[in-house]
Chains A and B, each alone.
Chain A
Amino acid sequence: MRTIIVTAIVGVLLILNSCKKEEEEVDEIIYNPTRYELSYLGLTPPNIPPDNPLTVEGVKLGRMLFYEKMLSGDGSMSCSSCHSQSTGFSDTNRFSIGIMGLPGGRQAMAITNMLWNTNQFFWDGRANLLREQSLLPIQDSLEMHETLPNVIQKLNNSSAYKNQFFRAFGSSEITSANISLALEQFMNSIVSNNSKFDKEERGEATFTASEQRGKDLFYTEYNAFFPATSGADCAHCHSGANFENDQYFNNGLDSDAGMIDDGRMKVTKDVRDRGKFKITSLRNIELTSPYMHDGRFSTLEEVVEHYNSGLVYSTTIDPALEATRNTGLFLTSQDKEDLVNFLKTLTDRSLATDKRYSSPF
Chain B
Amino acid sequence: MKKYIVFTALIITSTLAFSQTQLDIKINHKLGSNAFTLNDTCYNNLGNKINLSRLEYYLTVVSVTHDGGTITPIDKVLLINANVATLDSLTTMSITNLEKVTLAVGVKPSLNHNDPSLLPASHPLAPKSPSMHWGWTPGYRFVAMEGRTFAVTPDRQYEIHSLGDLNYFHTTISTAGISSTGKKTIELNADYLESIRDIDLSNGPLDHGEIRNNKKNLENFRDFVFTSIEGNPSVGLNNIAIDNIKMSVFPNPASKGENVKITLSETINDGTISITDLKGSIVFKTITSEKVTEVNHLKPGIYICTLSKNGASLSSRKFVVSN
Contacts and interface: CB of A to CB of B under 8 A. Distances in A.
B323 interface: yes
A332 B299 CA distance: 9
A227 interface: yes
B256 A227 contact: yes
Contact of A326 (B256, B257, B297, B300): B297
A226 B257 contact: yes
Contact size class for B?
Answer: under 10
B283 A326 contact: yes
B297 A224 contact: yes
Contacts of B300: 330, 332
A227 B323 contact: no
Nearest to B298: A327
Contact of B256 (A224, A308, A309, A330): A330
A227 B299 CA distance: 9
B315 to A, nearest CB: 24
B60 to A, nearest CB: 30
Interface in A202-235: 224, 226-228
Contacts of B297: 224, 227, 326-327, 330
Interface string A296-330: 00000000000011000000000000000011101
B299 A228 contact: no
A229 B285 CA distance: 26
Interface in B258-300: 283-284, 297-300
Q: Which label, helix, strand, loop or mixed, suits the secondary structure of the A interface?
A: loop
Contacts of A227: 256-257, 297
Nearest to A329: B299
A227 B298 CA distance: 10
Nearest to A227: B257
Contacts of B283: 326
Interface string B233-272: 0000000000000000000000011000000000000000
Given A326-B283, A332-B323, A309 B257 contact: no
A344 B141 CA distance: 58
Nearest to B284: A326
Interface in B71-105: none
Contacts of B256: 227-228, 330, 332
Most buried by A among B256, B257, B283: B257
Interface residues of A, number: 11
Contacts of B298: 327
A328 B257 contact: no
B68 to A, nearest CB: 42
Interface in A277-311: 308-309
Contacts of B284: 326
A228 B257 contact: yes
A222 to B, nearest CB: 11
Nearest to A312: B281
A228 to B, nearest CB: 6
Contacts of A228: 256-257
A7 B284 CA distance: 98
Nearest to B255: A228
Contacts of A327: 297-299
A226 B256 CA distance: 10
A328 B299 CA distance: 6
Nearest to B299: A328
Contacts of B257: 226-228, 330
A228 B300 CA distance: 12
Contacts of A326: 283-284, 297
A328 B300 CA distance: 10
Contacts of A330: 256-257, 297, 299-300
Interface string A324-345: 0011101010000000000000
B52 to A, nearest CB: 45
A228 B256 CA distance: 7
Contacts of A308: 299
Nearest to A331: B299
A325 B257 CA distance: 15
A332 B284 CA distance: 20
A226 B284 CA distance: 19
Contacts of A332: 256, 300, 323
Nearest to B279: A309
A315 to B, nearest CB: 19
A328 B256 CA distance: 12
A228 B299 CA distance: 11
Contacts of A309: 299
Nearest to A333: B323
B294 to A, nearest CB: 14
A233 to B, nearest CB: 14
B10 to A, nearest CB: 58
A27 to B, nearest CB: 64
A330 B298 CA distance: 8
Nearest to B300: A332
Contacts of B323: 332
A309 B283 CA distance: 10
A327 B258 CA distance: 12
Contacts of A328: 299
A327 B298 CA distance: 5
A226 B257 CA distance: 7
B279 to A, nearest CB: 10
Interface of A: 224, 226-228, 308-309, 326-328, 330, 332
Given A327-B297, A330-B297, 10 more contacts: A226-B257, A227-B297, A228-B257, A327-B299, A330-B256, A330-B257, A330-B299, A332-B256, A332-B300, A332-B323
Interface of B: 256-257, 283-284, 297-300, 323
* For the complex of A and B, 9 pairs with smallest distance between CB atoms: A227-B257, A327-B297, A328-B299, A332-B323, A224-B297, A228-B257, A227-B256, A309-B299, A227-B297
18 contacts: A224-B297, A227-B257, A227-B297, A228-B256, A228-B257, A308-B299, A326-B283, A326-B284, A326-B297, A327-B298, A327-B299, A328-B299, A330-B257, A330-B297, A330-B299, A330-B300, A332-B300, A332-B323
